[in-house]
A and B are shown apart, each in its own frame.
Chain A
Amino acid sequence: MATAPYLEFDGVAKYFGDLEVVAPSFDLTIQRNEFVVFLGPSGSGKTTLMRMVGGLETPTYGEIRLDGQPIGEPDRERGMVFQSYSSFPWLTVAENVAYGMKYRLDLTPERKKARLDHYLKLVGLTDFADFYPNKVSGGMRQRIAIARTLAAGSEVLLMDEPFGALDAQRREGLQIALRRIHRQDAKTIIFVTHDVDEAVFLADRIIVFSKRPARMLEDVDISAELGPERTLELRDSEAFFKLRTRILKLVRAATGEEEKV
């Protein structure tokens, strides 16, 4: 893996008025093609950090750089996948995915069509192309959002609890799909979740946050222990179980006494 820094948080701090959300000074360097999971107590500032990468908030202090360039306005280079309202109800599945390319002038209509078909297939939605989002499952709606950001050509995927509202069965399917997409399409992903199991399964690297204001408590290299390949069998392995327990303890410590019961 190349070691040139790709996404850098450099001395970042964030305040909403008097509310300190990200404590100074937050430093983090993410490599290209890394899958980083943010894990931490509710309200700690994970979403805020991610939104700053998206250009939807600006750091009060410090700077975030992508490929050496300071991050400015939102851009299709950095795509967002939200937990809810993640697709437009008035567009069909295919139209939603194609919306990712709507403002791209560098693609011919034929190229767009080819990309649309490719990404629909990649997320397994080809058969549902003409359905409206309210006629497909919640899991499929999240797939729409993922395909849209990929079609847009985003290099960085910012995913804020994208599977939070789904049942365990669906989550597992999507996790495997996402991990496969990550390897196949070589994207850099920041993924926020509350689910330790999900975090360990998906991540190359887990950042554990403190309570608000957000501070990095631990930076755990998951790939060093589990390798890049994630399968269902891995989930039942002892290595996975041990790692999960370790992370769980970290999160409990971060969350504090009240939730130890």
Chain B
Amino acid sequence: MSTSKAILSTAAGGSAGNAASKPRSHPRKRTRNQFFAFRGTLSKRAQIITAAFASLFVLGLWEISTRLGWINAVFLPPPTVTIETLWNMILHKNLLWHAGVSTLRIWVAFSLSVIMAVPIGIAMSSFRGVGAALEPIVDFIRYLPVPALVPLSIIWFGVGETTKIFLLWLGTFFQLVLLVADDMRRVPQEYVEISYTVGARPAQMLSDVAFRAMLPSLFDNLRITLGWCWTYLIIAEIVAADNGLGFVIWAARRYMNTSEVMAGVVTIGLIGLVTDQVLRLLHKRLFRYL
């Protein structure tokens, strides 16, 4: 009894952000944090503090273990050294420019994937004929590992930008098509029928209702696939590039410059972290009604 009350009160505390549901005025918002309760709630502040502590702990452990010589600093430079190198690379080695080049490649290739995958995916799940025709092809290509196609794509497109864009597109398009098709399939049949019974034509139903209904999950899937792009980008840049973060990392490896390798890796992680947070925030803004 008392536990269920606690859950109720924390749940109320958690949603008190909405101005509409704040009629009672407690002197202090009471939020019992439930660290280890299954699907328990945790206040925003507690979450941030927890995240900060966990990160600091990992960094601290890493720093100490290299400082104390448990791990050879040549193989794994400590965080302080990595950050210092990162800063030096920004100042003297155009790190930001390389990061910009990589990011640009990702956005170009990813946009291409999205522009193609969204309509095709929708068509695949909306029209049985299209689905039947494309599913086996997409499924086959989807399972081909991108690195296996690197040699072919170099033969086809040389070592220029086309190869890189192609590899990135290859890695995301076929996955995305199926995810989009699934998003569309999950739109409740009721929505479709409501639309038809107020007089919508199929095209109107698709754009006004079905597409609108799938938007939140589509957005989520785009956010997740965007992350995969980095994997393929590094492969592409390692094999055939003279700029970009993959090139920086690979070049540093040649001289056993592990701190520069680490700095490159950390840059990718930071870009990923920031992008993901921005997209999450955008998701919240766009889909307030959820």
Give the distance in Å from the alpha carbon of A169 to the alpha carbon of B50 in the complex: 44
Interface residues on A, range: 20 to 34
Give the distance in Å from the alpha carbon of A101 to the alpha carbon of B287 in the complex: 24
Interface residue from B196, B208, B289 paired with A132 (Cβ < 8 Å): B289
Q: Which residue of B lies closest to A131 (CB)?
A: B20
B273, chain A: closest CB distance, angstroms: 29
B47 interfacial contact with A, CB 8 Å: no
Give the distance in Å from the alpha carbon of A86 to the alpha carbon of B208 in the complex: 16
Inside 8 A of B198's CB, which chain A residues have their CB?
A: 76, 79, 99-103, 148-149, 152
Give the distance in Å from the alpha carbon of A135 to the alpha carbon of B213 in the complex: 18
Give the distance in Å from the alpha carbon of A104 to the alpha carbon of B204 in the complex: 13
Inside 8 A of A213's CB, which chain B residues have their CB?
A: none
**B290 and A80 within 8 A (CB):** no
B212 interfacial contact with A, CB 8 Å: yes
Interface string of B182-216 (1 = CB under 8 A from A): 00000010110110111111001000110011010
Which residues in chain B, 155-178, are within 8 Å of chain A measured between CB atoms?
none
**A75 and B197 within 8 A (CB):** yes
**A102 and B212 within 8 A (CB):** no
Inside 8 A of A76's CB, which chain B residues have their CB?
A: 197-199
Which residues in chain A, 111-153, are within 8 Å of chain B measured between CB atoms?
132-135, 145, 148-149, 152
Give the distance in Å from the alpha carbon of A188 to the alpha carbon of B152 in the complex: 67
**B289 and A75 within 8 A (CB):** no
Give the distance in Å from the alpha carbon of A80 to the alpha carbon of B212 in the complex: 20
Q: Which residue of A lies closest to B191 (CB)?
A: A85
Inside 8 A of A80's CB, which chain B residues have their CB?
A: 193-194, 197
A89 interfacial contact with B, CB 8 Å: yes
Q: Which residues of B contact A (CB under 8 A)?
A: 20, 188, 190-191, 193-194, 196-201, 204, 208-209, 212-213, 215, 287-290
19 contacts between A and B (CB under 8 A): A54-B197, A56-B197, A76-B199, A79-B197, A80-B194, A82-B190, A82-B193, A85-B190, A88-B209, A89-B290, A90-B212, A90-B215, A103-B198, A103-B199, A103-B200, A145-B194, A149-B198, A152-B199, A154-B197
**A78 and B197 within 8 A (CB):** yes
Give the distance in Å from the alpha carbon of A86 to the alpha carbon of B212 in the complex: 15
Q: Which residue of B lies closest to A148 (CB)?
A: B198
Inside 8 A of B213's CB, which chain A residues have their CB?
A: 88, 90
Q: Which residue of A lies closest to B215 (CB)?
A: A90
Which residues in chain A, 30-83, are within 8 Å of chain B measured between CB atoms?
54-56, 73-76, 78-80, 82
Give the distance in Å from the alpha carbon of A103 to the alpha carbon of B200 in the complex: 6
Q: Which residue of B lies closest to A54 (CB)?
A: B197
Which residues in chain A, 129-186, are within 8 Å of chain B measured between CB atoms?
132-135, 145, 148-149, 152, 154
A84 interfacial contact with B, CB 8 Å: yes
Q: Which residue of B lies closest to A56 (CB)?
A: B193
B15, chain A: closest CB distance, angstroms: 11
Give the distance in Å from the alpha carbon of A85 to the alpha carbon of B194 in the complex: 9
Inside 8 A of B212's CB, which chain A residues have their CB?
A: 88, 90
B194, chain A: closest CB distance, angstroms: 7
Give the distance in Å from the alpha carbon of A152 to the alpha carbon of B198 in the complex: 6
Closest 10 CB pairs of A and B: A85-B190, A76-B199, A74-B196, A103-B199, A132-B289, A85-B188, A152-B198, A82-B190, A74-B197, A80-B197
Given contact pairs A56-B197, A89-B290, A103-B199, a sample of 15 additional A-B residue pairs in the complex whose CB atoms are under 8 Å apart: A55-B197, A56-B193, A74-B193, A76-B197, A80-B194, A80-B197, A84-B190, A85-B190, A85-B191, A90-B215, A100-B198, A132-B288, A134-B289, A152-B197, A152-B199
Give the distance in Å from the alpha carbon of A133 to the alpha carbon of B149 in the complex: 49
Give the distance in Å from the alpha carbon of A79 to the alpha carbon of B213 in the complex: 20
Inside 8 A of A75's CB, which chain B residues have their CB?
A: 197, 199
Q: Which residue of B lies closest to A151 (CB)?
A: B198
**A90 and B289 within 8 A (CB):** yes
Interface centre among B190, B191, B215 (most CB of A within 10 A): B190
B68, chain A: closest CB distance, angstroms: 54
